[in-house]
Amino acid sequence: MTKKQILLNAFNMNSVGHINHGLWAHPRDRSVEYNTIDYWTSLARTLERGLFDGIFIADILGVYDVYQSSVNLTLKESIQLPVNDPLLLVSAMAAVTRNLGFGITINANAEPPHTFARRISTLDHLTRGRIGWNIVTGYLDSAARAVGQDGLSAHDTRYDRAEDYLEVLYKLWEGSWDDDAVRADRAARVYADPAKVRPVRHEGPFYRVDGYHLSEPSIQRTPVLYQAGTSGRGRRFAARHAECVFVSATDKAAARAIARALREEAVAAGRRPDDIKIFVGISIIPGRSDREAQDKRLEYLAYASPEAGLAHFSASTGIDFSRYGLDDPIEYGTSNAIQSATELAQKKRWTKRNLLDELALGGRYPLVTGTPDAIAAELESWIDEGEIDGFNLARTVTPECFEDFVDLVVPVLQERGRYKTAYGGSSLRNRLFDAGDRLPENHPGAGFRCLTQAHSRG
C-alpha cells in the first residue's frame, strides 16, 4: 500500500516578524525585504523547486496591543506590524511559478462580498486555478475599531455573518455563470451567451446583493477553502465549509484529537473524512549532522526574542503577561481568546518562565531540530500518529530555512516514499484531492450551481 503523502505549505506573512519573533535581527535574515517583489518571487521559486503545495500567507487587520497595554514592543520587534496586504503579492509570484498554490488569509468582514468575489476570481484566472482562501472572522478588537465598528462583535455572531457571506459568494462563484456561458466565438460575434448568465439575488440576515458576478468562470470557481478555527463554533464552520484546516497542536495526541473531532463533524455535515486536509503548524531546523542542526538552533536562539513571542501570545489569549511575575501561576479562565482555545486546554499550568522558554523558538508550534532523516521520521509520525495530512512550515531565518528544507529534507522525504517527486493535477484543488478542479458535489457550495447546469450534467 502507498504510504500517505505529506502535504506542505510554507507559512508566511507580508510582514517582518511572523511566528519566530526576533529573528529579523539575525544577520542572514531577509524578512526586512518583505516589501520588495524580489523577496516574494525568489521565495516562490524556491518553494516550487521543493514541490511545495502552497504558500500560506497569514494576515491581521489590527495591532497587538494587549501586552503592556501598548504597541511599543510590537513596533520595536515588528510583531506582525507593519503588515502589508497579502493578496497583492499573488500575481507576481504566480508569474514565476506554474504549480505553487496560494492560500491567502482574508477577513470575511473586511469588504462587501460582491467585490471580494471578483478579487478571488481574478486571481483564480491569473494563477490558472491556484487560489485558496483562508477564511477568518477576526479576533482583534483593534481591527474592529480600525474599520469603524465599536469593537469586536460576539464570536458566534461573527460566524453567523461569515455563513451569510459565504452563501453570497457561493451564489456568485458557482451560480451566476454557466460552465459553457463563455463562447468567445469571433465568427458568430458572441463572447458570452446571455441565456447562460444570471444575476444573483440574495437577502440574508447580514448581506444583500442584487447583481451579476463580474468575472467569468475560473478554473476552480470557488477557491480552495482554508479555515483555522478550533473553537466549537469555529470547528462546526470548518467541518461544513473548509477543505483544508490549519490547526495548532503541541503534540501528536492533541493533533489526533482535533483531527478526529473535525472529521467526525465533517461526516455529520454530509462530507467524507478525507474531504478535509489537516495541516499542523511546525518549525523545522535541519542540519547535515545533528551537531550542525543543534548549533544552528543555538545560533538562531541568540537572536530570538522570547518577550516578543510572549507579547504575541498576549494578543492571542487576551492576557497581559507583563503583569505576572516569572513564576506566578497564570489564570486563563477569563480569557476571551478564541484561537488559543486548544492550547489553553493543553496547558493547564502556565508560568511566564516556561512560556518565555517555549515561545522563544517555534512560537506556539512544535520545533523539530535534527538531521534530515530524523526530521523526516518525525514528520511521518505526525502524519500517522497525529492523523493529519501535512504541515504549515513556519519560517525561522528566511529564506535559508526554506532553502534548507528543500535541499536537505525534501530529498529524504522523497526517498522514504512520503513526498511527491513531481507536481500533478490541473489546479490547486485537483493537486490536493486528486478529484477535479471544482468543489465536490457533497460540499454545501456545490448546491448553489444553477439549475441549467444541473440539467445539462444529468
- Give me the half-sphere count of Cα atoms (radius 13 Å) on the Cβ side of residue 367: 22
- 456 belongs to the binding site for a second copy (CB under 8 A): no
Angle ∠(357,358,360) on CA atoms, nearest 5: 70
Choose the binding region for a second copy from 73-81, 224-232, 354-362, 399-407 (rule: CB under 8 A).
73-81
Choose the binding region for a second copy from 81-89, 241-249, 283-291, 391-399 (rule: CB under 8 A).
81-89
Q: DSSP character for 419?
A: S
- 452 belongs to the binding site for a second copy (CB under 8 A): no
- Please list every residue from 127 through 146 that binds a second copy, using CB under 8 A: 128, 142-143, 145-146
List C-alpha distances in Å: 184 to 128, 189, 192: 18, 8, 7
**Whole-angstrom distance, CA of residue 8 vs CA of residue 423:** 12
Nearer residue to a second copy within complex by CB, 128 or 236: 128
Q: Is residue 333 a contact partner of residue 322, using CB atoms and an 8 Å limit?
A: no
- 314 belongs to the binding site for a second copy (CB under 8 A): no
- 298 belongs to the binding site for a second copy (CB under 8 A): no
- 70 belongs to the binding site for a second copy (CB under 8 A): yes
Question: Is residue 105 annotated as involved in ligand binding?
Answer: yes
Smallest distance from a second copy to CB 388, Å: 32
Question: Is residue 231 annotated as involved in ligand binding?
Answer: yes
Q: What is the CA radius of gyration of the chain?
A: 22
- 92 belongs to the binding site for a second copy (CB under 8 A): yes
- 180 belongs to the binding site for a second copy (CB under 8 A): no
Nearer residue to a second copy within complex by CB, 197 or 257: 197
Q: Is 124 exposed, middle or buried (0-12, 13-18, 19+ CB in 10 A)?
A: buried
Smallest distance from a second copy to CB 164, Å: 11
Question: Which runs of E-coded beta strand occur in 114-214?
Answer: 131-136, 182-185, 190-192, 200-203, 208-211
Q: DSSP character for 63?
A: -
Nearer residue to a second copy within complex by CB, 151 or 424: 151
Question: Is residue 155 annotated as involved in ligand binding?
Answer: yes
Residue with C-alpha cell 529579523? Answer: 24
Nearer residue to a second copy within complex by CB, 5 or 70: 70
Which of 19, 47, 209, 368: binder of a second copy (CB under 8 A)? 209
Smallest distance from a second copy to CB 445, Å: 20
- 273 belongs to the binding site for a second copy (CB under 8 A): no
- 95 belongs to the binding site for a second copy (CB under 8 A): yes
- 281 belongs to the binding site for a second copy (CB under 8 A): no
- Please list every residue from 100 through 129 that binds a second copy, using CB under 8 A: 110-112, 114-115, 118-119, 121-123, 125-126, 128
- Please list every residue from 4 through 63 that binds a second copy, using CB under 8 A: 14, 16-17, 22, 24-27, 32, 35-37, 41, 61-63
Task: Give 365-412 as a DSSP string.
Answer: S-EEEE-HHHHHHHHHHHHHHHT--EEEEE-SSTTHHHHHIIIIIHHH
Element (H, E) at 168: helix 155-170
List C-alpha distances in Å: 377 to 182, 246, 405, 425: 49, 21, 14, 27
Q: Is residue 316 a contact partner of residue 248, using CB atoms and an 8 Å limit?
A: no
Nearer residue to a second copy within complex by CB, 104 or 338: 104
Smallest distance from a second copy to CB 304, Å: 11
Secondary structure class of 209 (helix, strand, coil): strand
Nearer residue to a second copy within complex by CB, 62 or 372: 62
Q: Which residues are annotated as a binding site?
A: 59, 105, 155, 159, 231
Q: Which residues are annotated as a binding site for FMN?
A: 59, 105, 155, 159, 231
